[in-house]
Structure 1
Amino acid sequence: MKKIIVSIVFVISLIITLLFVDVEMATFDIEFYENKFEEYSIYDKTQIEKKDLIIVTREMLDYMKGNRKNLIIEAKVNGEEEIVFGERERKHMVDVKNLFEKGFMIRNLSLILFIISLFLIIKFYKKTLYKLLISASILPLIIMSIFGIAISIDFNKYFTIFHEILFTNDLWLLNPKTDILIQMLPLDFFYSISIRILTYFILQLIMIFLLGFILRGKEKIRN
């Protein structure tokens, strides 16, 4: 019974830790934003100069990390100094920040559980490690591959479902004609970052599978 519990904790905590780390890596990579701003002509759409928009983006990311108290940020928009984000945008970002705070807590807890379960497996159930690594990679690989195909076919549909599940209000429904937040981060941007997270995750799962396969070979040689 203990072995089953430790194995389940190991597999689930490994998957959750990797996924949340991948979300964090993709979300807080400022170079990714710079590249996408160029690709999607965001500077023209927002009417904010490149250096100013990058500063705004850095401060927005600091806010999401909990390193900034609010999103009252001033910048030159179309040549005039003004507060970049309106009240509705700021309220939505409060919800987003709360989600990330919960995500950081889940990641930290999962990481702790993973380390503890890995220690117990190595100490007491070392021969099953390769099986657990293979098990932890195969099913998520299949699910994420199917999900990647699904969002490639109709990203807008799953983007909407995602927001309806995670948010209890409609503050995420912004006006692309007037709201700079959605001008900065259009649907194409979210599609790109979703693919990036999926790519990170799938590559990691493949590496875990290969590691399990290598350990399986070594175990067979020992036996």
Structure 2
Amino acid sequence: MKVTNKTVSIIMTVLLFLVVLLSNLQYLAFNLNFYINEFDKYGVKYVTGMDKSQLSKVALRIQDYLYGKSESLQIDAVIDGQNQKVFNDRELEHMRDVRKLFENGFLIRNLMIFIYILAFLFLYFRKEDVFYHTYRGMLFVILFLLVTGAIVSLDFNRWFIYFHHIFFDNNLWQLDVTRDKLIQMLPEGFFSDISYLTFRNSIITYIIIGFVSFLLKGKKDSKIGL
């Protein structure tokens, strides 16, 4: 089957779109300052009974666990003046699923980077204007993300539930806010904020990529003409 330049350019656009989106999500998911700001925003210390230092300690454990630096999520913390274990069995089971999701996300993102480089080189050696294709692709990506972001923001809870049904084959994610520390620390507003910032940062990245590609498009051909 003959592979056309247009097909490869579409694949490149999709790959770049997903790589940037996943990378921005990863940046926030492992940014302790983001967690601390969210804890302050939602008054998490009053809900959990943990002060700022204890919340930071638990947040670091969550990040280390999801990144694969720690084999166990469980941690002791001072809650309402007493040292005790933070998470129950249901929370630990759910986070095992979340960790698997992150591991697969890292693997897929890195694989997409590799395929993107191959696609880029494929077009380059066919003497295609790769930057022109990238510029056009970013225009579509930005428009798509703006529309998608607007739709999701109208009813985030609905799409948040859809997300869990798609990526989890159990109901362990349905936690009790009156009892489970995980959802007390990371309420729905936390995920709404991380989604918004991921979208916003990604759009900024796409604009930069698109602008640079616009400046570079046609440069190769003009040099060849000289």
Both proteins in one fold, TM over 0.5: yes
Superposed CA offset, 1:139-182 (max 9, x none):
22122111211222211111111111111111111111000000
Counterpart-to-counterpart distance in 1, 2:12 and 2:147: 24
C-alpha distance in 2 between matches for 1:49 and 1:110? 41
Deviating more after overlay: 207-216 vs 43-52? 207-216
Which amino acid is 1:64 matched to? L
Q: How does 1:28-43 map to 2 (within 5 A)?
A: 28-43=30-45
Higher deviation after alignment, 100-109 or 130-139: 130-139
d(CA) in 2 for partners of 1:147, 1:50: 35
Q: Percent same amino acid among aligned pairs?
A: 32
TM-score by length of 1: 0.92
The structural deviation recorded for 1:122 is 2.8
CA distance in 2, matches of 1:176, 1:44: 13
Q: 2:99 is matched with which residue?
A: 97
Output the CA distance in 2 between the equivalents of 1:7 and 1:146. Answer: 22
Show the counterpart of 1:198: 199
Instruction: Evaluate the alpha carbon distance shift between residue 221 and residue 124 of structure 1 in structure 2; reply closer, same or farther with a 3 A threshold.
Output: closer
> Is 1:85 aligned with 2:87?
yes
The aligned residue for residue 209 of structure 2 is: 208
Q: What is the number of equivalent residue pairs in this alignment?
A: 222
Alpha-carbon separation, structure 2, partners of 1:153 and 1:5: 34
Aligned-residue Cα RMSD (Å) equals: 1.8
SS in 1 for 2:174: coil
1:165 aligns with 2:166: yes
> Which SS does the other structure have where 2:84 is aligned?
strand
Does structure 1 conserve the Cα–Cα contact (< 8 Å) formed by 2:10 and 2:137? no
Give the C-alpha shift of residue 4 in structure 1. 4.2
* 1:42-100 deviation per Cα after TM superposition (whole angstroms, max 9, x unaligned): 11111012111101110111000111111121111111111101111111100100000
Q: Give the TM-score normalised by structure 2.
A: 0.91
Q: Is the 8 A contact 2:15 2:113 kept in 1?
A: yes
Distance in 1 between the 2:220 and 2:104 partners?
39
Deviation at 1:221, TM superposition (A): 6.3
Structure 1 gaps, min length 5 = none
CA distance in 2, matches of 1:100, 1:136: 27
Partner of 2:157: 156
Q: Distance in 2 between matches of 1:154 and 1:122?
A: 43
Indicate the residue corresponding to 2:135 in structure 1: 134
In 2, Cα distance between equivalents of 1:120 and 1:151: 36
64 and 206 in structure 1: CA distance in 2 versus 1, 3 angstrom threshold: same
Give, in whole Å, the separation in 2 of the partners of 1:31 and 1:199: 18
- What secondary structure does 2:83 align onto? strand
Q: CA deviation at 1:210?
A: 1.5
Q: Secondary structure at the match of 2:78?
A: strand
Letter in 2 for 1:131: Y
My pick for the range that moved more, 12-21 or 37-46, is 12-21
